[in-house]
Amino acid sequence: MFKSGYIGVIGNTNAGKSTLVNALVGQKVSIVSPKKQTTRNNILGILTKENFQLVFVDTPGIHKTKNNLDKSMMKNVRSAISSVDAVLYILDANKDLGSEEFDYIKKLTDLPLVVGISKVDISNQEKVFKIIAKLSSIKEISAIVPFSSIKNTNLDIILEEILKILPEESEKNLFFEEEMYTDQSTKFMVAEIIREKALLLLNEELPYGAAIEITKYTEKNDLLEIDADFICEKERHKAIIIGKGGLMLKQIGSQARLDIENLVQKKVMLKIWVKVNLNWRQNKNFVV
Ligand SMILES: Nc1nc2c(ncn2[C@@H]2O[C@H](COP(=O)(O)OP(=O)(O)O)[C@@H](O)[C@H]2O)c(=O)[nH]1
Ligand SMILES: [Mg+2]
């Protein structure tokens, strides 16, 4: 007996979706930061075991706008929802569940649905119970699971509940080869790692519209040589990214290099150039 399926991981930005997908897959497939809109593309995290293959679709998340939450939610997640077998909806245990989001969850019940309540390590039972009580009127929800990705609490239950709602298959239906844990190229992941360090280190100062582009990616014996352009739109943005005496860029580079070495399992030489380019925006990799 085998089970497989695509699971759309949906919820507000910062709810903890990417952290959960990384924890379930056991590999860092999706970058994480306290900043909104950290995840920009739908990223696949694949978990394959003896009797199942789950493909998690990590989505950029719902970007809350004051007047039209519903519309923007739909826009952000529509493509993920249209192609998945089940939905894993993530709510932050520390945030109240508002009526708009409640209505949105209700609408998702056309698909098999599990709700995860994240970050219970920094929340309390009262808050969690309040959310569960509100959700209890949506009978179609298969399971509500409070969890913590960071403390590894109830992640096994999340998997169990997802497997319960997927149909059994008579043959082993693999979407991806067993050893794959993402569909992304290593090169894309390298750009994402640099973006993550910039998000974390520059924090609020990260200029809007900056991007990372890998311009060289060459393996020489045991060494991987990577050149990257950090593209921004204004000279003063360039100064912020480089920092006093080049210190900021150096920090971004050395933190990124460590993660990249971990990813590729070899020594990495990473050079980053900061460039100003006004007209790069089309088809490029946005940072913010
Ligand atoms: N304490 C705690 N923090 C978490 C947990 N999961 C995520 N976070 C933090 O919440 C922030 C947003 O996480 P992220 O996975 O990027 O959220 P996403 O926008 O839904 O993908 C990051 O700062 C994470 O470190 C958790 O289980 N416990
Ligand atoms: Mg994310």
pLDDT in tens, the chain (288 residues): 899 999 999 999 899 999 999 999 998 899 888 877 677 678 899 999 999 999 999 988 775 554 444 454 456 567 777 789 999 999 999 999 999 999 999 999 999 999 999 999 999 999 999 999 999 999 999 999 999 999 999 999 999 999 999 999 988 889 999 999 999 899 999 999 999 999 899 977 776 667 899 999 999 888 999 999 999 888 888 999 999 999 999 999 999 999 999 999 999 999 999 999 866 554 444 443
Position 286 in a domain: no
| CA atoms of 227 and 206, how far apart (whole Å) | 21
Q: 182 CB under 6 A from ligand 1? A: no
Q: Are residues 38 and 160 in the same domain?
A: yes
- Ligand 1: which of 9, 28, 31, 32 to mutate, judged by most atoms within 8 Å of the beta carbon? 32
Kindly report the pTM of this predicted structure: 0.84
Q: Are residues 138 and 211 in the same domain?
A: no
Give the position, in ligand 1's atom list, of the atom nearest the Cα of 147. Answer: 27
Quote the pLDDT of residue 63.
Answer: 59
Instruction: Quote the ligand 2 centre to 102 CA distance (angstroms).
Output: 21
Quote the pLDDT of residue 75.
Answer: 60
Position 57 in a domain: yes
Q: Are residues 127 and 11 in the same domain?
A: yes
Residue nearest ligand 1's atom 11 by CA: 34
Q: Are residues 190 and 96 in the same domain?
A: no
CA distances from 90 to 24, 27, 59, 93, 123 (A): 14, 19, 11, 9, 15
| CA atoms of 205 and 237, how far apart (whole Å) | 9
Position 246 in a domain: yes
Q: Are residues 210 and 141 in the same domain?
A: no
Instruction: Quote the ligand 2 centre to 221 CA distance (angstroms).
Output: 35
Q: Are residues 68 and 7 in the same domain?
A: yes
Give the position, in ligand 1's atom list, of the atom nearest the Cα of 12. Answer: 20
Number of domains forming the structure of the chain: 2
Q: Are residues 129 and 222 in the same domain?
A: no
What is residue 63's DSSP assignment? P
Spell out the residues 6+ positions from residue 196 whose beta carbon is closer than 8 angstroms to its own. 31, 32, 33, 38, 256, 259
Instruction: Quote the ligand 1 centre to 81 CA distance (angstroms).
Output: 22
Range of the domain at 60: 3-165
Q: 38 CB under 6 A from ligand 1? A: yes
Position 29 in a domain: yes
Q: Are residues 82 and 219 in the same domain?
A: no
Q: Are residues 137 and 204 in the same domain?
A: no
CATH of the domain at 234: 3.30.300.20
Q: Are residues 142 and 244 in the same domain?
A: no
Q: Are residues 98 and 202 in the same domain?
A: no
| CA atoms of 157 and 92, how far apart (whole Å) | 17
Q: 60 CB under 6 A from ligand 1? A: no
Q: 114: alpha, beta or left, given left = phi > 0 and alpha = psi -120 to 50?
A: beta
CB 207 within 8 A of CB 275: no
Quote the pLDDT of residue 81.
Answer: 77
44 closest CA partner among 10, 86, 6, 89: 6
CATH of the domain at 78: 3.40.50.300
HSE-CB for 157 with a 13 A CA cutoff: 15
Position 282 in a domain: no
Q: Are residues 150 and 51 in the same domain?
A: yes
Quote the pLDDT of residue 285.
Answer: 47
Instruction: Quote the ligand 1 centre to 215 CA distance (angstroms).
Output: 31
| CA atoms of 246 and 88, how far apart (whole Å) | 43
Position 228 in a domain: yes
Last residue of a domain, one of 100, 135, 165: 165
Give the position, in ligand 1's atom list, of the atom nearest the Cα of 149. Answer: 27
Spell out the residues 6+ positions from residue 160 whose beta carbon is closer than 8 angstroms to its own. none
Position 180 in a domain: no
Last residue of a domain, one of 165, 198, 218: 165
Position 181 in a domain: no
What is residue 28's DSSP assignment? -
Q: 17 CB under 6 A from ligand 1? A: yes
209 closest CA partner among 253, 240, 251: 240
